[in-house]
Amino acid sequence: MAEQHAELHFEGKVYKIPVVEGTENEKALDIGKLRAQSGLITLDYGYKNTGATTSAITFLDGEKGILRYRGYSIEELAEHSSFLETAYLIIYGELPTKDEYSQFVGDITKHTMVHEEVKSILDGFPSKAHPMGVLSSLIGALTAFYPNSLDPNRSGEEVNTSIIRILAKLPTLAAWTYKNEKGQPVNYPDNSLDYCSNFLKMMYAVPTDKYEPDALLSDALNKLLILHADHEQNCSTSTVRIVGSSHASLYSSVSAGVSALWGPLHGGANQAVIEMLEAIKEDGGNLAKWIAKAKDKNDPFRMMGFGHRVYKNFDPRAKIIKKAADNVLEKLGVHDPVLDIAKQLEEVALKDEYFVSRSLYPNVDFYSGIIYRALGIPTQMFTVMFAMGRLPGWIAQWKEMRENNEPIGRPRQVYTGRTQRSFVKMSDR
């Protein structure tokens, strides 16, 4: 098919801009030569309309509420897959055969322990430290224990060992972060358990009591991690890519991704949602008041868990999580009044012109906290759970960027500061 192009008419000249088309018929202007030809750059705060790359990992359609990993819908993966199977798919591009899967799980199982000296790093954190700050530091510290991981240009096999190591160790680091906050002794991994059960045991087992894994909780966590596993060029993934584009190591790039995810406008929203729902409950459930606050431009309060940069219709993950929240609470025989408030808030907001006209629907973070609470996970650990889920996506995107030999990320700007002026001695100012 002949190459499509657009024309830019500027100062009496016409510039042909090639159009790139993806496999899902998305079209983009390739402005790679725009500045050299016309002297023009583009300006797009928050990259709302700017594609940073091409990628074969995740497709989402914000208008139709579609999300697929390597072509498979999240509805099917959440229903039929395991988190590690989905992680394999996202990282290596295909669903694993039985042998590939047992090799992958076997490799991960071999690496679940972390170096004993990590404990002394952990001990250096006050117990009140936020788990996301601790986790980001511990992931960065992995570079100290695995110096071969520093060079991303090492052999594919060594890079893959770094990938296996961080997939295996993140649950251990996350659970140890929690134990540090609780002031409890850490638990070592139990490799007889599956990924999610092992994590929950490291989180909740205490020396004084026998710990019994609960399949219901592990299944719920498994589904949640699948739903968080990747989401194309979101804020934290773009951070991982741009840090990795300088040829920084995978662990440094993921550590930066954890920090970006922490923000309440991004992954930190799952913690902020529960804090918001608790505040509304404390305030007598006065939904109208809080919806008015969210609409008031003079009030910094935002309806956490609502709105999305890309989904201008429902977030498909929110629909699955909402159903799973009902299911988990029912099976656990738990009634969480905060879930009732969340459902009422969704119902009222989606009838309000302010939310409807801005396409503000519940996003992945709106209901996920309800399930995390039901799993006994403390609010401050919610975003750590998001990071655990998102890890395969960060790895896959970093790997794709490195394998495609993408250049170092270095956006341009439009300067709006003072034009040239001469220095004035302090005595003359």
Q: Which residues of this protein are in contact with ligand SDX, per CB under 6 A?
A: 46, 231, 234-235, 265-267, 269, 294, 302-310, 358, 360, 363-365
For this structure, is 365 an active site residue? yes
Residue whose CB is less far from ligand SDX, 104 or 366: 366
Which are the contacts of 373, defined by CB distance < 8 A and separation ≥ 6?
A: 274, 336, 338, 379
Using an 8 Å Cβ cutoff, are 211 and 205 in contact?
Answer: yes
Using an 8 Å Cβ cutoff, are 266 and 273 in contact?
Answer: no
CB of 127 to ligand SDX, least distance (A): 28
Structure tokens at 110: 């071999």
CB of 254 to ligand SDX, least distance (A): 14
| 8-state DSSP, 209 | S
Using an 8 Å Cβ cutoff, are 191 and 111 in contact?
Answer: no
373/253 Cα distance (integer angstroms): 29
CB of 128 to ligand SDX, least distance (A): 25
274/281 Cα distance (integer angstroms): 10
Spatial CA neighbour of 400 closest among 286, 194, 237: 237
Counting every residue written for the chain, the total comes to 429
Structure tokens at 81: 């897959």
Helix ranges restricted to H, 205-296: 215-227, 235-244, 250-262, 269-282, 287-295
CB of 363 to ligand SDX, least distance (A): 4
CB of 135 to ligand SDX, least distance (A): 17
CB of 302 to ligand SDX, least distance (A): 4
Structure tokens at 298: 């003079």
Alpha carbon distances (Å) from 270 to 274, 331, 363, 383, 413: 7, 23, 10, 7, 33
Coil vs helix vs strand at 302: coil
Nearest residue by C-beta to ligand SDX? 307
> 130, 231, 308, 315: which one is catalytic?
308
For this structure, is 308 an active site residue? yes
Residue whose CB is less far from ligand SDX, 165 or 308: 308
What is the DSSP code string of 118-167? HHHHHHTS-TTS-HHHHHHHHHHHHHHH-GGGG-TTS-HHHHHHHHHHHH
Using an 8 Å Cβ cutoff, are 316 and 75 in contact?
Answer: yes
Q: Which amino acids are annotated catalytic?
A: 308, 365
